[in-house]
Structure 1
Amino acid sequence: MAPSNLQFRPATAEDAGQIQQLVESAFRAVDSRPDWTGNTELASNFRIGVEEVMPRIVNPDNAVLMALDGANILVASIEVCKRGINCGRLSMIAVNERYQQSGVGRLILEYAEAYCRQAWNVEKFSLNALSTRKALIEWYIRRGYQKTGETTPFPREKFSSMELPDDICFIEMEKDSNNISE
């Protein structure tokens, strides 16, 4: 069960290191649920640098949102980005391994959607998920997202030393603001 005392706030430049560590550890976490983690070798080789996180925090059309527990420990984060007139793009969703499967992911996603509605008057949300993470895609569908039928190429060049499935890509998904999560 998710901690009842979560507090949410936008990240500042001083938070970049914490967010970088959370995102890397969350993406590397091994989950026993079938099709949740996807390719474990790929997950274990995932890297993101503070220099990649910082621009996401300081860009005025972006925000990295944080969920902190009662002890002010970072539990989850998500990047939101204004896209066009009425669309918000969600990415870099990460939940501390200790809090996975507790409802924190749902809470940070709902907070991000509310943030986008309030800050940018967003009516539609988009995100993507790695095609090999079938259970995660199903989780997004339960949250009201639908596959658009479009895909985005996977950056194979970053993982050139690995054998990857030929069909690996990102599945694009959207949610209309009126489509409420279950």
Structure 2
Amino acid sequence: MNNNNIVIGITKKSNRQLCCRAAEIKDVDALVDLINFAYRGTGREDNDKSVQSKGWTNESHYISGKRLTHDSLKPRVEQQNPARALTFVVEFADGNDAERKPIASIGVVRDDDVNAHLEALSVEPMYQSEGIGGILMAYAEEYIVKQWGCRVISMCAVSIRNELLSWYYRLGYKPTGVYVPFHNDDHESRPFVQDIKFEQLSKSFN
């Protein structure tokens, strides 16, 4: 797989270039750390649960447990295929390779010739006001439409995350009316709120 870094945009406040590439095995630990901290507010390497993420994607007030584990993410990265499924990683373009680390990620999956879906958009909480999520979403959409020829992109979001849902609406996603019972195939999670569901959203492209 050609895995060259591609410049996809510039941050809003700090004016730093963002590069995107497909994830590699060396990224798995850093991605697990990033995704769990962004979604569940779990601590870093020591997994100290008293350390809470301040990011607006954080679900720790609604759901306990990790978002995913090394064992659940590693096979996805190993089995990536540019024609079917990829995990994209975003890094700052400045600095040398040794200093770079993932600051955002998203999964893209081709369902068929028309449909694709997005998974686990994650942005390092300290950078969530820099516009990185929107830049990465736009890049993922462009890849799906231009490389795969798909015309409908969907995703699922926790139904009570009104702020997050509103952000997706502003990006052009609309509710499909489909709700899926809460589940997490990657790791045991337990919701604190009754009747929590995943709401499906979709966006069509001409």
Confirm or deny a common fold (TM above 0.5). Answer: yes
Aligned to 1:9: 21
Give, in angstroms, the shift of residue 23 of structure 1.
0.5
Aligned to 1:170: 198
Q: State the one-letter code of the partner of 2:135.
A: L
Gaps of 5+ in 1: none
* Aligned: 1:122 with 2:150: yes
Match 1:59 to one of 80, 88, 99? 80
The answer to whether the 8 Å contact 1:38/1:132 transfers is: no
Aligned equivalents of 2:55 and 2:149: distance in 1?
Answer: 38
Aligned CA distance change for structure 1 residues 136 and 154 (closer, same or farther; 3 Å): same
Match 2:165 to one of 137, 144, 147? 137
Give, in angstroms, the shift of residue 95 of structure 1.
0.2
The answer to whether the 8 Å contact 2:35/2:122 transfers is: yes
SS in 2 for 1:8: strand
The answer to whether the 8 Å contact 1:39/1:132 transfers is: no
User: What are the equivalent positions in structure 2 for 1:29-178 lying under 5 Å apart?
Assistant: 29=41, 30-31=53-54, 37-38=58-59, 40=61, 42=63, 45-57=65-77, 58-60=79-81, 61-69=84-92, 70-71=94-95, 72-155=100-183, 158-160=188-190, 164-178=192-206
TM-score by length of 1: 0.85
Identity %: 26
Give, in angstroms, the shift of residue 86 of structure 1.
1.6
More off after superposition, 6-15 vs 52-61: 52-61
Q: State the one-letter code of the partner of 2:113.
A: I
Residue by residue over 1:9-53, the C-alpha shift from the partner in whole angstroms, topping out at 9 and shown as x without a partner, is 1112221111111101111244486xx6455152x5334111111
Give, in angstroms, the shift of residue 7 of structure 1.
0.5
SS in 1 for 2:103: strand
Aligned CA distance change for structure 1 residues 52 and 32 (closer, same or farther; 3 Å): closer
Q: State the one-letter code of the partner of 1:4.
A: R
TM-score by length of 2: 0.76
Gaps of 5+ in 2: 1-11, 42-52
